Amino acid sequence: MKKLNILLAAVIVVGLIGCDLLDQQPQQSLPADEIKTAPDGIQDLLTGMYDGLQNPNIAGGNYNVLPEIMADNVTWSGSFVNYARQADRDMLPSDPQIQNWWNVSFREINTANLILNNVGDIDDPAFTEEDRDLVRGEAHFARGMLYFEMARMYAKPWGFTTDNSHDAVPLRTTPVEGVPDFENLPRESLSAIFQQVEDDLVAAANLLPDQGLRADRRATRYTALGYLMRLELEKGNYSGAADYAGQIIGSGNFSLTGNPAAPFQNEFSSESIFEIVHTSQDNPGVNAGQNAFYASTGRGGRGDIQYSSDFFSALNSTVSEDQQTVIDAAGYSVVDLRSNLIDTGSTSTVKFPDGTNNADNVINMRLPDIMLARAEALVEISASILDVPQEAYDLLNEVRRRSIVVTDAGGNDFSELIEYNPGDFASREEMIDAILLDRRVELAFEGDRFHTLKRKGIAIRGLEPDNNRITFPIPQGEMDANPNMVQNDGY
């Protein structure tokens, strides 16, 4: 990655030279070592790392957009040819969104490496061990998150080879700070990358604050636990996923909002675990990010992404036939309030309506994701449908009751009629299908559907999860710069 790493080191170190760190003149001549080993310098590196996560090419937009347009909840109608290829699963190594996901990710991985390599060298009595551990925790979290998101897009899925020795991405845990550090690294196995992800996220969980939301809205212990849960789901380790999800739910730091629209109308709601902040002054702009693509033209966006007829059918099937029969017989009305999050006129979602200011946060993780994942995991580790614990039903029903409302003519609530109970499913597989249906509708347009289908081994619009067209190509710029790089099959 020689060419790429030269650029990254320049951006990270030189880009901070102008910061008011040590009150020396001229600021452009500040030694890089003083930036890295001063408390203010490390904090500015940390701020820069979070700013990098906000980038629309990764967590600030494309973590949501690119997987969604590859799956079955939405259709793409925009004029960007490279995004159209993405939606058609006909990507090219030269596509800028493929290159930028890689470049920005490795840039911020290098920032995390710089922080971790230098935070121990700060010699300032005002910079306490608690301060040092918090910085370490945030860097470990970001590196683990970035490697996880890269691996599950640029590598074949877990289980593609029996020992998961198939190629993922290069692994580097030491910083590129100068020419002697440059190496043309080969790709490491998915097993090795996932082990690094686990190590980083466990370290982060042990170092980050044990609270729901921080004043600065940065990662917490529960953000790291949520990514550990996602890692175990990818690996099919349902016991591990259930444990991590259980820790988040059991913390008491999070609760479902009163209606399914609230998390998108009010930033950092009671169910928010991690959000990427966008403001009217600091956002991806009018041609990138979730707001630009999802918001209809009537709401100031591009209107490039519409919900699919397949998703609309799923939304209209959250009430089972047996439940609908009972509701109809009683003369009650039923509505899934999640239907209010789509605009049938423009066939768009209103989860991210601000296409004018592009100020809607990107919700990276919220409680329903965790609840439905634990319910799924509890079913998966049960020997039979008769052994599924009541908790799995309770978690699924709690998500459903928040959204699916059953009332009589007087407005009295009978939402217990859409609950599932032991005996309602003939097999574990039937219950998993019900959970995945609610997961599809609840987390629609948030970047989840593609990953759920892939990890469950379910065809993604007719292509199996290990199909070459499902896996990102290695960017052409990386192939050109690194003689040790191997391209993915099919490109």
362-387 mean pLDDT: 98
Give residue 120's pLDDT.
Answer: 94
Lowest mean pLDDT: which of 22-26, 369-373, 462-466?
22-26
Give residue 116's pLDDT.
Answer: 97
465-481 mean pLDDT: 98
Query: 422-430 — which CB contacts under 8 Å span 24+ positions?
Result: 422/386, 422/388, 422/390, 422/393, 424/320, 424/322, 425/385, 426/385, 427/385, 428/379, 428/380, 428/382, 428/384, 428/385, 428/388, 430/385
For residue 12, pLDDT beyond 70? no
Which residues, 6+ apart, have CB-to-CB distance to 60 below 8 Å?
Answer: 53, 54, 276, 278, 284, 289, 362
Residue 256 lies in a domain: no
For residue 237, pLDDT beyond 70? yes
Confidence of residue 189 (pLDDT cuts 50, 70, 90): very high
For residue 2, pLDDT beyond 60? no
For residue 63, pLDDT beyond 90? yes
Residue 279 lies in a domain: no
Length of the chain, please? Answer: 491
Can you give the CATH number for the domain in which 11 is found? 1.25.40.390
Residue range of the domain that includes 42:
1-208
* Segment 289-331, tens digit of pLDDT: 999 999 999 999 999 999 999 999 999 999 999 999 999 999 9
67-85 mean pLDDT: 98
Three-class DSSP category at 9: helix
225 contacts 216 by C-beta, under 8 angstroms? no
Lowest mean pLDDT: which of 4-13, 85-94, 296-305?
4-13
Confidence of residue 101 (pLDDT cuts 50, 70, 90): very high
Residue 479 lies in a domain: no
Q: Tell me what percent of the residues of the chain surpass a pLDDT of 70.
A: 93
For residue 100, pLDDT beyond 50? yes
Give residue 36's pLDDT.
Answer: 77
Give residue 11's pLDDT.
Answer: 40
What CA–CA distance (Å, rounded) separates 35 from 23?
11
Element spanning 342, H or E: strand 342-343
Three-class DSSP category at 349: strand
Residue 436 lies in a domain: no
392-418 mean pLDDT: 97
* Segment 413-429, tens digit of pLDDT: 999 999 999 999 999 99
Q: Tell me what percent of the residues of the chain surpass a pLDDT of 90.
A: 91
> How far lies 157's CA from each of 101, 137, 261, 452, 463, in Å?
18, 28, 33, 12, 13
Give residue 32's pLDDT.
Answer: 62
CB-neighbour burial class of residue 466 (10 A; exposed 0-12, middle 13-18, buried 19+): middle
Residue 104 lies in a domain: yes
Confidence of residue 287 (pLDDT cuts 50, 70, 90): very high
91-106 mean pLDDT: 98
24-28 mean pLDDT: 36
* Segment 244-268, tens digit of pLDDT: 999 999 999 999 999 999 999 999 9
Instruction: Out of 9-23, 174-188, 226-240, give the one with best mean pLDDT.
Output: 226-240
- The structural domain count of the chain equals 1
Q: What are phi and psi of 287, to 5 degrees?
A: -125, 20
Residue 129 lies in a domain: yes
Instruction: Supply the DSSP string of 129-183, one letter for each residue.
Output: HHHHHHHHHHHHHHHHHHHHHHHHHHSPPTTSSTT--SB------S---SGGG--
349-371 mean pLDDT: 96
Residue 159 lies in a domain: yes
Give pTM, 2 decimals: 0.93
Residue 300 lies in a domain: no
